[in-house]
Homo-oligomer: A and B are copies of this chain.
Amino acid sequence: MHPLHQLIHSFSPINEKSWQQLFEHCEELTIAKGKNFIREGEKEKYIGFIMEGTMRQYYSRDNGEEITTYFYFENNLVSSYISCINNTPSQITIEALEKTKLLIFNYSVINELYNKEKVWERFGRKIAEYLAAGLEERMVSLLMDKPEDRYKKLLNSTNKQKILARIPQHYIANYLGITPISLSRIRNRLSKNK
């Protein structure tokens, strides 16, 4: 089974024939390190599936400052999801942190599949529910936990160990809602308490 088919299947059972309806619209795309997959302001809507590589998602302030809000790795779906569902220009930019191989398809393809088959509609529901649950958890952590606790959670999350291994620290600081300097101090504090 293709890794993307497998991922989709884990949300909603999609048989080989239905899968082909998506797969025949997929293309491969390789993004060089530092280049963007999705750019702020863009209207063309693509969904990507990471075969290999790492990406970061960020919002930009008026002064050009970039605020990193998410990281993507192998087997992750990557897109400006909000701009797809609301049909608005993307507010985010998604950049390759290393050379990244993607399988991509246009959002309109998946949108048509939603109309065609109930199992695809279910996939759409499940993926949105999964996203909402993740966002809620993140939001609650921002409201309830101190920065130091958020960093500790990141350290303990086996799933996110790769974040620490592959991602420059100042991006992680953004992700935690603090400055790189503050993260450096937290790390210093933690290393002394051992």
Contacts and interface: CB of A to CB of B under 8 A. Distances in A.
Contacts of A39: none
Contact of A139 (B81, B138, B144): B138
Interface of A: 59, 61, 67, 69, 81-82, 85-86, 114, 118, 121-122, 124-125, 128-129, 131-133, 135-136, 138-140, 142-144, 174, 177
Given A144-B61, A177-B143, A85 B138 contact: no
9 contacts: A59-B140, A69-B139, A114-B122, A118-B118, A121-B122, A124-B125, A132-B135, A139-B142, A142-B177
Contact of A86 (B133, B142, B144, B174): B133
A82 B136 contact: yes
Given A118-B121, A122-B114, A174 B131 contact: no
Contacts of A135: 132, 135-136, 139
B174 A143 contact: yes
A67 B144 contact: yes
B140 A142 contact: no
Interface pairs A-B: 8 shortest CB-CB: A128-B128, A135-B135, A125-B125, A132-B132, A124-B125, A142-B142, A85-B129, A121-B121
A133 B82 contact: yes
Given A69-B140, A142-B142, 4 more contacts: A82-B136, A121-B122, A128-B128, A128-B129
Contacts of A139: 69, 135, 138-139, 142
Contacts of A177: 142-143
A132 B131 CA distance: 6
B132 A121 contact: no
Q: Most chain-B CB neighbours within 10 Å: which of A125, A138, A177?
A: A125
Contacts of A85: 129, 132-133
